[in-house]
Amino acid sequence: MPQIDMERRICIRFEIPGATLSYKTKKFFSQKGAYQEEFCPVADISRGGLRFLSRSQPKLNTSLLVKIAIPGEQIPLLLKGVIRWIGRHAGSIYSTQIGVQFNPYGDENKEQNYPGALVKIIALEQKFAPDDTLSYDSDPSKR
């Protein structure tokens, strides 16, 4: 039986023009300002994670704290997550692309993301996602 490539994600991925991020790994969470890399371009983002470009290549399954700077927004978006995949990126000075899965949203423990961050991502989704993908969210048959 031939294998069919299927999109496993149920969250809409969208681009935010000009968005960048800085990140630090778990061992540097407590150090103020100790970001391993700054101003990395955000390739796309969703409610469940993001893809960004990097000059370095951190290790798979590393816990991260990402600070996302969004043009026109004064306060950056802070999210915790885990590196789920790493791949090559052709061109430019960013040779690596990194996929991050966000930790769950909630206020039960310190590893969870602030629920207000999800609200912000949903607002950004409404603003930046193409119109044809937004109907996907409201139609369960398209999941």
Residue ranges, the chain, pLDDT below 50: 1-7, 135-143
**Domains in the chain, number:** 1
**The predicted structure's pLDDT at residue 31:** 66
Does residue 129 sit within a domain? no
DSSP assignment letter at 14: B
**The predicted structure's pLDDT at residue 143:** 37
56's tokens: 């370095």
Tell me the pTM. 0.82
Q: Which residue range(s) make up the domain with 60? A: 20-112
**The predicted structure's pLDDT at residue 89:** 87
Q: Specify the CATH number for the domain of residue 39.
A: 2.40.10.220
Does residue 90 sit within a domain? yes
Cβ neighbours of residue 88 closer than 8 Å, sequence gap 6 or more: 95, 96, 97
Give the number of residues written for the chain. Answer: 143
Does residue 31 sit within a domain? yes
Q: Which of 67, 46, 58 is nearest to 124 (CA)?
A: 46
